[in-house]
Amino acid sequence: MKGFFITGTDTGIGKTVLAGWLLAHMRGQGIDVVPMKPVQTGCEIRRGRIVAPDLEFCLRAAKLDPNEEERSLMCPYRYKPACSPHLAAGIEGRPIRIPRIMQAFQRLAERHDAVIVEGAGGILVPLNRRSTLLDLIQKIRLPVLIATRPGLGTLNHTFLTINELRRAGCAMAGIVIVESGPPARDAIERDNRKTLARTGIPVLGRLKYRSGISPEHVRCLDADNLARNI
Ligand SMILES: Nc1ncnc2c1ncn2[C@@H]1O[C@H](COP(=O)(O)OP(=O)(O)OP(=O)(O)O)[C@@H](O)[C@H]1O
Ligand SMILES: [Mg+2]
């Protein structure tokens, strides 16, 4: 057990909420699991420090408060512009290097039982001129969890993601449907769930919508069968 790589079919799909839920669930089982967000754009400055919001959400969900050295391993690349990683890196003149991310990941994996790594956007998001997030997923070699929307449009996006991961030889742990907005729970959503399962990649569960979700309450989300399947 060394964790999961959480990707999604888009930005804002529910990756961080899923990561927070998993951290809370696994830590509740006595597993020393920690979060990693290798690249964060849209960071804020708080008390002179550059703060990565997704990492802080996950740390609060996991009830962890590591020191600055460990926080920098958990999020080695932090940028202020709220845009694609390669663009933020270009604006700030600090290019993203996959070997540096791998070093930070190895250090965390040595210190802890497992690491939950959250990507940025979807799998073909560029990190620099040559590499995309998929190159990082290939190197990290963690089983991939795909966060996906329940409604219209999810089939195409999820199939494209699975095809690319398959072509790259990445192991997939499963699909998790995340209701990041009020769900319709209609015939389309019911059929989507069945049709997604036709990919051969299991649909592990569905994180249900709860308005005003906070890191402290993410563990209380109705997770369908996720706890049993993970
Ligand atoms: N189950 C849920 N109930 C209520 N709100 C949710 C739920 N899941 C996600 N959200 C909301 O949807 C929005 C997007 O979720 P989240 O930040 O997890 O997406 P993401 O894929 O991590 O985005 P990014 O690509 O920016 O990292 C957030 O405002 C979050 O609070
Ligand atoms: Mg996120």
Give the pLDDT confidence of 135-194 residue by residue, as tens digits: 999 999 999 999 999 999 999 999 999 999 999 999 999 999 999 999 998 999 999 999
Rounded Cα–Cα distance for residues 115 and 34 (Å) = 5
The residues near 55 (Cβ < 8 Å, ≥ 6 apart) are 35, 36, 37, 40, 71, 74, 75
CATH of residue 208:
3.40.50.300
Q: Parallel, antiparallel, or unpaired: how do β-strands 49-51 and 44-46 relate?
A: antiparallel
Residues forming a β-bridge with 205: 176
| Residue 148 and residue 177 in contact, taking contact as beta carbons nearer than 8 Å | yes
Rounded Cα–Cα distance for residues 95 and 63 (Å) = 32
The distance of Cα 204 from the centroid of its chain, to the nearest Å, equals 15
Residues with CB under 5 A from ligand 2 (ion): 15-16, 54
Instruction: List the residue whose alpha carbon is closest to atom 16 of ligand 1.
Output: 14
| pLDDT of res. 109 | 97
Question: Ligand 1 pocket, 11 CB below 6 A?
Answer: yes
Identify the three-state secondary structure at position 134.
Answer: helix
Angle, CA 75 vertex, CA 72 and CA 80 arms, to 5°: 105
Rounded Cα–Cα distance for residues 170 and 136 (Å) = 11
Question: Ligand 1 pocket, 213 CB below 6 A?
Answer: yes
**pLDDT at residue 121 is higher than 90:** yes
Domain hosting 116: range is 3-229
Catalytic center residues: 37
Q: Residue 8 is which amino acid?
A: G
Identify the three-state secondary structure at position 207.
Answer: strand
Q: What digits encode the pLDDT tens for the residues 55-88?
A: 999 999 999 999 999 999 999 999 999 999 999 9
Q: Residue 229 is which amino acid?
A: N
Instruction: List the residue whose alpha carbon is closest to atom 12 of ligand 1.
Output: 180
Please give the tally of structural domains in the chain.
1
Question: Ligand 1 pocket, 97 CB below 6 A?
Answer: no
Residues forming a β-bridge with 4: 116
**What's the pLDDT band for 1 if we cut at 50, 70, 90?**
low
Question: Which of 230, 159, 168 minimizes the C-alpha distance to 196?
Answer: 159
Question: Ligand 1 pocket, 178 CB below 6 A?
Answer: yes
Q: What are phi and psi of 180, to 5 degrees?
A: -85, -5
CA 12–ligand 2 middle distance (angstroms): 7
Predicted TM-score (pTM) of the model is 0.98
Question: Ligand 1 pocket, 15 CB below 6 A?
Answer: yes
CA 23–ligand 2 middle distance (angstroms): 14
